[in-house]
Amino acid sequence: MRPGVKSLESDSDAQRVDMQVVVTRGMNDTAQAALGAADYILVHRDKIVMIMFPRPAGRTVLITAEADFPPEKVRDLLGVVDRYYQSNPAVSKD
C-alpha cells in the first residue's frame, strides 16, 4: 500500500483478496494447457481494478488501480512488468 493511502479493506478482507489471487492463478495454470498462457487477468470491481500478471516460478504480480483505470492501459503495465523481470533475472528464480 502506498504511504498515506488508506486501504479499502480490513485485514480479513485483504486475506480474501489474497485467496482470490491464489485461486485465480490456479485456474489460469489449469487452463493454460488447453488455452495457452495468459498475459494478464483483469478483475473489475465497483471500487477497484485488480490486474494480475502471471510470472515464472508460480509468482504473480498484482497491481490494483482506481475503478476508472482504462483497460487499454493494461498492455502498458504488462510492458513495465516484463521489462522489470528482464532486467532483474533473480526475481524469476525459485
State which amino acid sits at residue 59.
R
70 part of a folded domain: yes
| Residue 2's pLDDT band (cuts 50, 70, 90) | low
6 part of a folded domain: no
Q: What is the pLDDT of residue 12?
A: 66
94 part of a folded domain: no
DSSP helix/strand/coil, 65: strand
71 part of a folded domain: yes
User: In 10 A of CB 4, how many CB atoms?
Assistant: 5
The structural domain count of the chain equals 1
Q: What is the pLDDT of residue 65?
A: 92
CATH of the domain at 83: 3.30.450.30
Tens-digit pLDDT profile for residues 27-55 = 888 888 899 989 999 999 898 899 999 98
For residue 44, the surrounding DSSP H or E stretch is: strand 41-44
59 part of a folded domain: yes
Enclosing domain of residue 22: 11-89
Which residues, in sequence order, are CB contacts of 42 under 8 Å at separation 6+? 49, 50, 51, 52, 71, 74
94 pLDDT exceeds 70? no
